Amino acid sequence: QLCKTATRWHAVTQRRGLDGVVWALDKRQSANAATMGSGVAGLQQLARTLGWQLPLHLWEVCESQWPQHTRPREPVGSLLAARVTGSQLETSLARLDEPLRKHGLDQMEESADHDFLLRLSQQLKVEGIARWRQALTPLLGKFARGVPLRGLWFSLPAQPTHAVDHLWLPDPAWGGVLQNQSRQTHRLGWPVTRISYALALGAALIWAAGLLLSFSTHRAQIIDIQSSLAAVQPSGNGDEPLLALNALILEMGRLKDRARRGEPWYQHFGLSQNDALLAAMWPRYVEANNRLMRDPAAENLKRQLASLVASPADSSRRAKGAHNAYVQLKAYLMMARPEKVDAAFLVTALGHAEPTRMGVAPGLWKGLSPTLWQFYAQQLAANPQWRIEPDNALVAQARQVLLVQLGQRNGEASLYRQVLEAAATHAPDLGVEQMVDDKEAWPLFFTEASVPGVFTRQAWDGQVRQAIDDIVEARREQIDWVLSDRESSAVADTSPEQLRARLTERYFHDYSGAWLEFLNSVQWRRADSLADVIDQLTLMSDVRQSPLIAFMNTLAWQGQAGNRSQGLKDSLVQSAQKLMGSERSTRVSAISQQLDTPAGPLDPTFGPLLGLLGKDPEGKGGDDDLSLQAFLTRVTRVRLKLQQVSHAADPQGMTQAMAQTVFQGKNIDLTDTRAYGELLAASLGEEWDGVAHALFVQPLDQAWRKVL
């Protein structure tokens, strides 16, 4: 509807916009977000149609339950700042509270019916401020686009008056709106002609200014470069050549950057001489840098390396200076072999090798040298013709000295201690309780000893192997192309792969020793009666509860540390379950005869145990007559026989009969199994003598003694 009537206002808005638009609404309308949004959208459309801003005044028409025609009327509300925010709106309305309350009380003293101001103050405090902020905050962005919000006003409904044509007598309540007319309204958009003139004039001014700026900057640049080139000539003395060289490389860096990224905007108006300047500067830079920086640095590195080589072989100077000498040798070789350049390393090394220079102020050298070295190092790889001629004899001597020092400083004993210390904090010690899962070992065997956590498969897989790899990688970095001499025996002796092999071999040697020391401390628990012996044999051969089976399974898994693939599965328990769950005389394999791991570094020690479990290091099944599976089967038979004796009507007679049978030279299950256990223990070898006797011999010996 507003847009339909807009054409009537075109005549009065051709040269000047409307002073303002007043939008009167009640409390219900102000709280309706849809009404507010559509109203503002309509006003924006009207503003675009007229081509002028429409300053907006919101006017809330309040209600009163009784007439207040005689109440003095005055503007009630607040003018708002341009681009008002929600918090500013809330602050402006909050400022009305005190004046409204004061004037409201004054008016009510004159007439109790005149409560508009006091009631308005109360309403704003209770809900009015929050309501208006909630209603207007989402619209503040829209107000900035053609409909600036200038004020928020409040009044009671106006009383009807007698209208006079072409005459409007404003009510005093309009005073706040009318006093805001001083603010100018602005056009929306630009006329086409005005835009064209402005663009043409602006383009001409910009082009003229750009030409002038481009000329002046290029001229200043050429003058600076000429002065720098003159200053780096050999005739210069003192600090001046270094300062000029620094200025020269800064300018070259800028020119290279502009060639890669493009010229700055103020040089896009022509007259550019960047490429020609850069081509003229390179030969001068190379000559000056070689004379002032590269050659003195190379001579300094040679002197320091020669000093190290000349020092006595057993001097502390060699030991303490080995690291610095390695850095110096590497930097020297980088200058001779640009394809090996590491710019960051070379800058640091050259700076440390020459912290001061004779004839140059220390502060100036400290400030300039990093920049000079940085530019040289960054460009060296792309310019191999800048290489120096190395002193090959000195390089060979320095390499030999450093290799000897490297072998002394990083002895295998020291490196091995580092490996163990790195893993010790992460690997807890293992006792018998941790090796039998959730089963209880104390009814059968016990020991107070434990295996150091660093010598467990968990430590090997989690920390030790990585620690050895880290040390080997560090050695590989140390013995790199800087010290590499394929014909040198010193390099061969300290090669990373040989170091890895020796550290691994030493670790698994100690690994085996730690486990054998622990295992040979295991003792079989003494039984006090034949019933206790039967209980022990029952638990020993019980597939589900046997701590012996769990213990052997753990030993087999730990014994395969260092193998390339996964260790033994828990097939020991599963296959033993098949064995013990069947009372058939048919023989059942208690342990899988397939080995899922290749030979490993612990096979010389743990190989007999793997053979006992039916798995030898070569992946072949063990001897059918000599295995843990067969031993457990025989133990089960002994246990069943002893249970028959224990539950017989005449236990004494049965035991006497068993003993007489043995004394007559005949074999029984008990003596056969005892002999089998002794053979089993002997097959493990002398290293396993303690634990083998405790676990395989002593249980049957104890049973025989109780029978006797």
- pLDDT tens across 455-486, in order? 999 999 999 999 999 888 877 766 668 876 55
Helix (H) or strand (E) holding 25: strand 21-25
CA–chain centroid gap for 94, Å, is 50
Helix %, strand %, coil % of the chain (to 5)? 65, 5, 30
622 pLDDT tier (thresholds 50, 70, 90): very low
Distances (CA, A) of 217 to 222, 267, 273, 277, 597: 9, 8, 11, 14, 76
Asked whether residue 38 falls in the same domain as residue 176, the answer is yes
Q: Which residues contact 428 (CB under 8 A, 6 or more apart)?
A: 453
Q: Give the mean pLDDT of the chain.
A: 82
Answer yes or no: is 87 within a domain.
yes
- pLDDT tens across 53-107, in order? 888 899 999 988 888 888 888 899 998 888 888 889 899 999 998 999 999 898 8
Asked whether residue 159 falls in the same domain as residue 198, the answer is no
Dist CA 119 CA 141 (whole Å): 31
Q: Is the pLDDT of residue 351 over 80?
A: yes
| Domains held by the chain: number | 4
Q: Is 151 helix (H, G, I), strand (E, B) or coil?
A: strand
Asked whether residue 634 falls in the same domain as residue 700, the answer is yes
Asked whether residue 502 falls in the same domain as residue 543, the answer is no
Residue 48 corresponds to which tokens in the numbers above?
A: 């675009």
One DSSP character per residue, 684-699 reads: T-GGGHHHHIIIIIHH
Residue 368 corresponds to which tokens in the numbers above?
A: 């300039």
Answer yes or no: is 203 within a domain.
yes
- The pLDDT, as a whole number, for residue 409 is 56
pTM for the structure as a whole: 0.48
Asked whether residue 378 falls in the same domain as residue 420, the answer is no
Mean pLDDT value of segment 672-701: 90
One DSSP character per residue, 428-467 reads: --B-HHHHSTTS--TTTEE-S--B-GGGSHHHIIIIIHHH
Dist CA 474 CA 93 (whole Å): 72
- The pLDDT, as a whole number, for residue 380 is 94
Asked whether residue 382 falls in the same domain as residue 470, the answer is no
Dist CA 79 CA 56 (whole Å): 11
Q: Which residues contact 118 (CB under 8 A, 6 or more apart)?
A: 100, 101, 104, 105, 107, 108
Asked whether residue 501 falls in the same domain as residue 546, the answer is no
Domain holding 246, by residue range, is 193-386
For 81-128, the three-class secondary structure string (H helix, E strand, C coil) is CCCCCHHHHHHHHHHCHHHHHHHHHHHHHHCCCCCHHHHHHHHHHHHH
Q: Which residues contact 379 (CB under 8 A, 6 or more apart)?
A: 386
Query: Ranked by mean pLDDT, which of 441-455, 593-607, 665-679 comes out on top?
Result: 441-455
Answer yes or no: is 370 within a domain.
yes
Answer yes or no: is 393 within a domain.
no
* Residue located via tokens 């260790």: 567
Which of 229-238, 349-358, 400-409, 694-703 bottoms out in mean pLDDT, i.e. has the lowest? 229-238
- The DSSP bridge partners found for residue 52 are 187
Dist CA 34 CA 413 (whole Å): 83
Answer yes or no: is 8 within a domain.
yes
Asked whether residue 549 falls in the same domain as residue 511, the answer is no
Distances (CA, A) of 462 to 141, 422, 423, 562: 60, 11, 8, 12
Answer yes or no: is 560 within a domain.
yes
Domain end, chosen from 386, 420, 452, is at: 386
- pLDDT tens across 492-536, in order? 555 778 888 888 999 999 999 999 999 999 999 998 888 898 899
Domain end, chosen from 486, 519, 552, is at: 519
Answer yes or no: is 554 within a domain.
yes
Dist CA 52 CA 147 (whole Å): 9
> Which tops the pLDDT comparison, 666 or 301?
301
Answer yes or no: is 405 within a domain.
no
Asked whether residue 176 falls in the same domain as residue 253, the answer is no
Domain end, chosen from 182, 216, 238, is at: 182
Asked whether residue 154 falls in the same domain as residue 245, the answer is no
Q: What is the DSSP letter of 480?
A: S
Q: Is the pLDDT of residue 258 over 90?
A: no
Asked whether residue 98 falls in the same domain as residue 72, the answer is yes
Q: What is the DSSP letter of 233?
A: S
Asked whether residue 200 falls in the same domain as residue 308, the answer is yes
Q: Is the pLDDT of residue 42 over 60?
A: yes
